Amino acid sequence: MSNVMNFKTTYLCNANEAALGKSIQIASPVFQCYGSKSAFFGRIETLRLFEDNELVRHTLKGNGAGRVLVLDGGGSMRCALLDGKLVELAYENKWEGIIINGCIRDSFAINMIDIGIRALATHPQGSRKSGHGETNVPVNFWNICFSSEKFLYADEDGLLVSEHTLTMWDSIESSKARSASQESVEDSADSD
């Protein structure tokens, strides 16, 4: 996945304008950024759970190379679904990032780890650990349907989900073409 790590969601939107709202969805701007990796990309893996993070631990023990874990915690603000130890586990197992429709805790420690995390807020209380929840099911929150066949792109400007991989090269070339076209129109207007 390292060949696309220099992407910008702004460029991806510009390059794929016709697909926005169709094969590419943009999340509502509600997520806070945590972890020291500002941009990340990967195939989505989902969990649906509520105030219980045992399935999170189990999932993060697996190889996460090239994948982003999306946790639908129902938007709960009553406890944290992710803490510093779980983020260390995710980093050790090469997860690209984690998106949480819910809270985290240990934000200071998490911000020192080279992984991308997006969550709604922080909360000092941990969750239950009973193992209730569902794995690899489509989850919907903040204007996006997240499912395992899709790809997620996140950076400082936002979060995109696409039905197919998006390349930075296409984004750069499209942005250059758009700039050249605009300059051509401006030059033409100046010469009239």
- pLDDT tens per residue across span 40-98: 999 999 999 999 999 999 999 999 999 999 999 999 999 999 999 999 999 999 999 99
Q: Rounded mean pLDDT of 15-41?
A: 96
In a domain, 109, yes or no: yes
Would you state the pLDDT for residue 6? 78
CB 11 within 8 A of CB 172: yes
Give the mean pLDDT of the chain: 90
**pTM for this prediction:** 0.85
Would you state the pLDDT for residue 167? 73
CB 94 within 8 A of CB 65: yes
In a domain, 190, yes or no: no
Helix, strand or coil, per DSSP, at residue 181 = helix
Q: Rounded mean pLDDT of 142-154?
A: 95
Name the pLDDT band for 2 (thresholds 50, 70, 90). very low
Would you state the pLDDT for residue 81? 97
In a domain, 170, yes or no: no
For the chain, the domain total comes to: 1
Task: Please check the confidence at residue 176 and state whether its pLDDT lies above 70.
Answer: no
In a domain, 85, yes or no: yes
CB 99 within 8 A of CB 69: yes
CATH number at residue 48: 3.50.30.40
Task: Please check the confidence at residue 3 and state whether its pLDDT lies above 50.
Answer: no
Domain carrying residue 74 = 21-164
Burial class of residue 124 (count of CB atoms within 10 Å of its CB; 0-12, 13-18, 19+): exposed
Tell me the C-alpha distance between 3 and 87, whole Å.
Answer: 23
